[in-house]
Structures are given as C-alpha cells and as structure tokens.
C-alpha cells in the first residue's frame, strides 16, 4: 500500500504556491484601479469530529475586499482524521469501518464590484481514504455574459485538458454543466467550465500524471481570469445591471448552501466556518 503522506505534502506545497501567485495577481489588479486593498490571512486549526482527539490539521483563510474585487476568498487547507459515521459511507473509499482520510486543497471564489466582470469559482484538491484521488475545476459566473469571455475561459481549460487527456475536456465540461445546475430554478449557475472528481491514483505514476493535470488547471485559471477582469473592470454600469448581479448572487448562494459538495464536506469534517462560507456573496437579493 502506497504511503501517500509525502504526496499530500507535495500537493499542499503546490496549492500554497498557487495561492500566493493568484493573490499577488489580484492585488496587482487592485493597484491598477488605484486601490490599496490586500489579502488578510487568518490561520485556523481543524476541530476534531466524533471521537477524534486533538487538532487534526488546518489551513489559512485569505480574504480581500477591494475596489475591483468586492469580496474574494482564496483558502488553502490540509486536514486529516476520520469522517463521522453518517458521512463516511458517502465518500469515495471510506466506510464506517474505515473512516480515516486526509485532504489538501485550494478553494477560491471571487465576487466582483462591477457587474460586467464575471464572478468565478476555482478549486483543486487531493484526498486519500482507502483510495487516493484528485478533483477540482473552475466555472465562470457572469451576471451579464459576454460570448467572448465565455469562449476564452473555456478555451483556456480545453488547452489544459487536451494536454493531459484527449477526452478530458468533453467529459469534464459535461460534468460541470451537470453539477453546476440549480434544479429548483431550472438554470445553470453560470456559463460553465470544467469539473472533475475521483481522478484516482492507483500508483505513483498515476499520481504524477493526475498531479500534473491538476497543476495545469490552476495555471489555466491564473492565465485567463485576470485577463477577463482587466477587460471589464472599467466599464460603466447601470442600476439595472447591478440589480441583475444581485439577483444572480442570490442564485449562487442557493447553490452553495443547498447543493455544493465542498460546503457539505467542510461542515461535516470540522472545517473553519468562515472559510467554508467565504463563497457566499457580500450582498444579494431575492425577488
């Protein structure tokens, strides 16, 4: 049986490096807009669940509220322990008899001040139970969609996918379309992206391949999203544009609170509440 601990450390180090690069780029955008906003970092320790004892990992919540980024959170975490009995059977490779797990990842959600700039979500992660696998993805959530932005966002992730699997983009785009859907509204959360999960690592070679793909996903996000922000952040907008943004933020909140697996995972494993719910918008409306 492979000892995945060194690989968890490698993945964790990459997620921290990616966090630093993304935050630096977002702060640079704020400077271009004449803002001195910067990320505030808050470390946290994971609370044990059920019969676990003591601290079992933790992470850092990064939060910035600026002129361009009304609210953006970039969180990293590395936790380990055992799933609660009711939750264990719902996780790949875990069970009531074998509830142990480790998880490391990065999670990002940006809500933008200008409604012409799309909101966005990105996360990548590595988990181990009796199995080991990668998951993640990114999706674009514009209140006022632009075909040009949508096409370039998808093109960036298609290029990342195509370099690692000839069927990855079609599979993971379709998975995102299915996953990021609000059934009670009968609408998608945004204009899609990619979503993948349970990209399993049966051996070290598979881990290296899946890790390389996961890194490519993060790099694709870093390359494309700041470009879209800079394109739209100076545009004029009307009260009607803002009203549409707030309505879509309400739908975003509904999805994350009702359907999102990451929210449930964090709450069920003793994660930091503020870090888990950082995805919620700073302001929203419901008609």
DSSP string over 101-156? EEEEEEEEEEEESSTTSPEEEEEEEEEESSSEEEEEEEEEE-SS--HHHHHHHHHH
d(CA 125, CA 108): 12
Kindly state the tokens that stand for 125: 């992660």
d(CA 53, CA 179): 35
d(CA 138, CA 273): 22
d(CA 236, CA 259): 34
- Candidate list 80, 111, 116, 121, residue with the active-site label: 121
Q: Are 211 and 226 in contact (CB under 8 A)?
A: no
Known catalytic membership, residue 121: yes
Residue 129 CB: number of other CB atoms within 10 A?
19
SS3 61: strand
Residues paired with 125 in a beta bridge = 105, 135
d(CA 84, CA 180): 26
Q: Which residues are catalytic?
A: 121
């Amino acid at each position: 049986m492979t000892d995945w601990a060194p690989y968890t450390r490698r993945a964790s180090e990459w997620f921290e490096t990616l966090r630093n690069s993304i935050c630096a780029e977002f702060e640079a955008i704020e400077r271009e807009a004449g803002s001195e906003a910067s990320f505030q970092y808050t470390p946290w320790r994971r609370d044990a669940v059920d019969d676990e004892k003591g601290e079992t990992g933790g992470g850092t919540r990064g939060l910035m509220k600026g002129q361009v980024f009304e609210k953006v959170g970039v969180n990293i975490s590395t936790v380990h322990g055992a799933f609660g009995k009711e939750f264990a059977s719902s996780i790949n490779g875990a069970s009531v008899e074998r509830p142990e797990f480790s998880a490391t990842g990065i999670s990002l959600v940006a809500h933008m001040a200008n409604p012409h700039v799309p909101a966005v979500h990105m996360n990548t992660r590595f988990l181990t139970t009796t199995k080991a696998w990668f998951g993640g993805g990114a999706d674009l959530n514009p209140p006022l969609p632009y075909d040009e932005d949508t096409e370039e966002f998808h093109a960036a992730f298609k290029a990342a996918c195509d370099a690692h699997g000839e069927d990855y983009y079609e599979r993971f785009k379709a998975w995102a379309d299915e996953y990021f859907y609000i059934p009670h509204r009968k609408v998608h959360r945004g204009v899609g992206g990619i979503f993948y999960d349970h990209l399993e690592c049966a051996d070290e070679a598979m881990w290296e391949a899946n890790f390389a793909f996961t890194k490519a996903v993060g790099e694709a996000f870093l390359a494309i999203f700041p470009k879209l922000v800079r394109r739209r952040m100076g545009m004029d907008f009307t009260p009607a544009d803002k009203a549409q943004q707030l309505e879509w933020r309400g739908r975003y909140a509904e999805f994350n609170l009702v359907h999102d697996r990451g929210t449930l995972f964090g709450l069920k494993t003793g994660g930091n509440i503020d870090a888990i719910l950082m995805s919620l918008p700073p302001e929203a409306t419901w008609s």
